Structure 1
Amino acid sequence: MSYIRFRKHYLHIPYLLLAMLEFGVLFAIFSMLTVVLDLAGITHEPIPANLLAPVLFALVLSCGTLAMGGYIAMFHENVASLFFRTLVAYCLVGGVGLIVLYALVPAIDPGRTNLLVAVLLGSVSVVLMRLVFLRLVDSEQLTRRVVILGCGDHASALLDEYQQNLRALGVRIIGCIPDTADSRVPDDMKLPVPEDFYKFCRENRISEIVVAQQERRRTEGGWLPVPELMECKLRGVAVTSAIDFYERELKKARLDLVHPSWIVFSEGFRPSRSRALGKRVADLAISLTLFLIMLPFIILTAVAVFLETGRPILYSQARVGTLGKEFRIYKFRSMRQDAEKDGKAKWASANDNRVTRVGAFIRNTRLDELPQLYNVIKGEMSIVGPRPERPEFVSELREKIPFYDTRHYVKPGLMGWAQLKYPYGASVEDARGKLEYDLYYSKNRSLLMDFLIMIQTVEVILLGKGVR
């Protein structure tokens, strides 16, 4: 098993190990900084000698890595991109965090020169360590070898996900065991049906069997080797349904695998009064703090919108909130005043000509969303949750997408899991893709998950991801 579960979330052990190693390297660099700088003759500024200083230094920079998606991205990037992303994570995100921290706690401030040297040494050391880590994780000895039981559309979709994402998580799908003559998977991925499933798994070092059969095949002559699967599970080979595999590995609920019983009998989707109270207190604290910090940017944005296109500065829209109740959200206007002059709601499109020059900038930086802090303070929205949709689109989407209304049992938010994992939604198909992540959030939401989403949203803002 290469993962552990903590508060309903699956955490992959290789990533946890990498995070611990990076924390240790950063801690050691800061702790030994005095010796290094004295030997190099760079500076003689005193370094804080207490344990708290290196711990907070390593913690803040580690959060910078998480915020910039450094753990997942390193599997897809070359060395130059990896080093650049690490520099951004440490020098920009982590650096700003450390400057704020040292302003609040001057006693642990190592000085500007010392801090710069520590960050640069940390960046180089961590990149080198990640390159070594990638060599080890890519080794066949450390990968999880998986076989799929099924060869229909579900199995084909899982193979597509494997090519795009699962390789990065140390998963190796060695092939599919056909359950019918009607195959939808490539011939080179089809395996012969084994006579002895457990022996096959042992000989091929299979650690998991993912059952991805089509439902209709189970009732129309479908083949499900229950005794063989029971033996495999009882003898240590994991047997997992496709929907649980998606949830664990890709942090989403594949919509064509979702059925009512999965929602009804799942251990998730449970409202909690104590969690709701804690979330409300956190929403108020964070939204009020953000309002005070961002007040200069709010004023500058309002002035910029007014100077370019005049009034109105703010734009309001009806949105669907908790339990389908409508409310109005507020945004800085980023489009022309006649963007919907015919009165019909329209999906935003790439390079939309209705967006003004100031509007393009504030949409990329998410400054246009700042007035929604009022909705959070008012209690109509949360800091984290599914993004609320317009009533005109909701009426269409609930007819075309199964289980679409499940997202309305959770308070909508300024930022969300779907916004991190899926591009900007501007069609029915996009809404379907986003719902898969919203379902995962609805099932597994917690204050810890909200905190992780807030950290990772930094990358979305800085790189302008998912904007149209």
Structure 2
Amino acid sequence: MTSLFGHSVRSDVLALYVADALLCFLAIYALLSWQVGLPFGQGFMVAVTVAAACGIISGASGLYQPEAFSRARKLIAAVSVAGLLLLVLLPVLSMMSPAARASLDDHLFGVTLAFVSAVVTTRLGFALALRSGRLAQEVALLRCPERTADEAGKLYAAAGHSGRFRIALEVPPGTPLEVVLAPERLRARRIRAVIATDPAAVPQPLRRDLAAAGIEVLRETEFLEHQLARVDIERLPDGWLARTNGMREGRMEAAMRRAFDILLSSMLLLGTLPLLVGTAIAIKLDTPGPIFYRQERVGRGGRIFTLFKFRSMVVDAEASGAPVWASRQDDRITRVGRFIRLTRIDEIPQVFNVLLGDMAFVGPRPERPAFVEKLGQVIPHYHERAVVKPGITGWAQVNFPYGASVEDARMKLAYDLYYVRRRSLFLDLLILVATVRVVLFQEGSR
């Protein structure tokens, strides 16, 4: 695990990112300098420019998703999307690097082919290493009498489901820890973390020796939070909220975030203006009723505001007066509505809410007051997601599909509170990149 600006990034994924950039640079530089015969400076600038954008393009096309390593069809689709994104972005990249402009314009397809070859090569190598088990982190599990079967089951389920770590050593209660957890013994078995219900069970001198050897001693909940990028809402300690990044935002960061929201919303609004006009006309011609749908949602601190969306359902969608979650093949959705929901076009008018200050571009999705009241009664810590502004997109949206039940809301809350806890501009950037993937592959649309 590697912590970047408070967000836990898997060390193997970070290594894959570095491998992508390096191999992409070498492939493009070899193509332009050795085969095409460009001068050193031009070929170098093109290679550096594309390699720098490699991680963003790969993230936006789903090439860092687990399915890209285990399913050939998913890999082909992600690589195809990455190639198309690069073709679209190359003219923009050329503006950022004037020395490389002519080279990029003349060798678009060659550069794209080199990029695709590089990312396919790294993923094939990564998939082989993953199957061999070499990328799984070895951990030692310190058992204790107080651990319930359910708590132990969560750790084993996470290990089996994610494939990110393997429990290589179980230490029963009463075992002399100074012997079993001796740093040299753990390092010999490639164990880099000791997981315990209570780290205080490991004597302080031993913890210092383990830290000096680069071996972490972590609480189970902390370890799973790092590995799964979500919190365990059932075992959050008292007073956890006061220590979160969402509650400690300074004036400078708040000003930067607000400026970023205004800039991004304005760019999205201007860039999609022809699309917005076409969508408005299509909605008006498809079914009678207003173009926009206005609905009360709960914002920061529980404040109610009016959310704007393109109307995707018939006018009397909730004739009974009771709010209802959308379902698959929902007969309330219009023909145009089904398309704009799949492509997320219906969400674009929410930029007006961002410009008005009711929402941020990134944050937990705003829910309706009736749902918030219901979910707050059955899910612990549910109201604590409202300590930050709601967003058009968020950590839960890019990690979990559309929620249409209390259990779905519980899982999405686990991701939302992870965001509240580790909120940063870096995490916001990761979410924005991942949102491109969600939109392109229509993940979670309903």
**Same structural fold, with TM-score higher than 0.5 when normalized by the shorter chain:** yes
**2:5 corresponding residue in structure 1:** 7
Determine what percentage of the aligned residue pairs are the same residue: 35
**1:19 corresponding residue in structure 2:** 17
**1:209 corresponding residue in structure 2:** 194
**Of 167, 171, 182, which aligns to 1:173?**
167
Do residues 199 (structure 1) and 177 (structure 2) align?
Answer: no
**1:439 corresponding residue in structure 2:** 417
SS at match of 1:319: strand
Matches within 5 A, 1:59-98: 59-73=52-66, 76-89=69-82, 91-98=83-90
Q: 1:232: Cα distance to partner?
A: 5.1
Change (3 A) 1:317 1:424: same
**Of 156, 160, 166, which aligns to 1:159?**
156
**1:378 corresponding residue in structure 2:** 356
| Partner Cα separation in structure 2 for residue 354 and residue 458 of structure 1 | 27
Change (3 A) 1:303 1:268: closer
Q: 1:267: Cα distance to partner?
A: 7.0
| Partner Cα separation in structure 1 for residue 394 and residue 245 of structure 2 | 21
Greater displacement, 404-413 / 130-139: 130-139
Matches within 5 A, 1:104-253: 108-111=101-104, 114-136=107-129, 138-139=131-132, 143-148=136-141, 149=143, 150=147, 152-165=149-162, 167=163, 169=164, 171-174=165-168, 177=171, 194-196=175-177, 198-199=179-180, 202=185, 204-212=189-197, 226-227=201-202, 231=206, 234-235=209-210, 236=213, 237-253=215-231
SS at match of 2:315: coil
| Partner Cα separation in structure 2 for residue 340 and residue 409 of structure 1 | 30
How far does the alpha carbon of each residue in 1:254-285 deviate from its partner, in whole angstroms, 9 at most, with x for none? 11121223334567742222111100000011
CA contact (8 A) 1:211 1:242 kept: yes
| Partner Cα separation in structure 2 for residue 87 and residue 230 of structure 1 | 53
Q: 1:98: Cα distance to partner?
A: 1.8
Change (3 A) 1:175 1:241: same
| Partner Cα separation in structure 2 for residue 411 and residue 176 of structure 1 | 43
| Partner Cα separation in structure 2 for residue 95 and residue 64 of structure 1 | 11
SS at match of 2:70: coil
Q: Which 5+ residue runs of structure 2 have no aligned equivalent?
A: none
CA contact (8 A) 2:33 2:43 kept: no
Do residues 287 (structure 1) and 272 (structure 2) align?
Answer: no
SS at match of 1:402: coil
CA contact (8 A) 2:69 2:75 kept: no
SS at match of 1:209: strand
**Of 35, 51, 64, which aligns to 1:58?**
51
Q: 1:140: Cα distance to partner?
A: 5.2
Equivalent pairs, count: 434
CA contact (8 A) 1:197 1:229 kept: no
SS at match of 1:49: helix
SS at match of 1:347: coil
Change (3 A) 1:410 1:243: same
CA contact (8 A) 1:384 1:453 kept: yes
Residue identity opposite 1:234 in structure 2 = D
**1:329 corresponding residue in structure 2:** 307
SS at match of 1:425: coil
Q: 1:364: Cα distance to partner?
A: 0.9
Aligned-residue CA RMSD (Å): 2.7
**2:407 corresponding residue in structure 1:** 429
Change (3 A) 1:103 1:356: farther
How far does the alpha carbon of each residue in 1:106-139 deviate from its partner, in whole angstroms, 9 at most, with x for none? 6524355611122112212321232223334555
CA contact (8 A) 2:70 2:127 kept: no
| Partner Cα separation in structure 2 for residue 160 and residue 417 of structure 1 | 22
CA contact (8 A) 1:198 1:231 kept: no
Change (3 A) 1:304 1:361: same
Question: TM-score, normalised on structure 1?
Answer: 0.85
Q: 1:30: Cα distance to partner?
A: 2.4
Change (3 A) 1:109 1:178: farther
CA contact (8 A) 1:332 1:371 kept: yes
Residue identity opposite 1:12 in structure 2 = R
Change (3 A) 1:319 1:176: farther
Change (3 A) 1:378 1:137: same
Residue identity opposite 1:64 in structure 2 = I
Question: TM-score, normalised on structure 2?
Answer: 0.89
Q: 1:26: Cα distance to partner?
A: 1.6
CA contact (8 A) 1:229 1:239 kept: no
How far does the alpha carbon of each residue in 1:74-128 deviate from its partner, in whole angstroms, 9 at most, with x for none? 5652345324312211x22222222333467665243556111221122123212
Change (3 A) 1:58 1:424: same
How far does the alpha carbon of each residue in 1:278-314 deviate from its partner, in whole angstroms, 9 at most, with x for none? 0000001110011000101101111111111132111
**Of 271, 294, 300, which aligns to 1:316?**
294
SS at match of 1:62: helix
Q: 1:426: Cα distance to partner?
A: 1.3
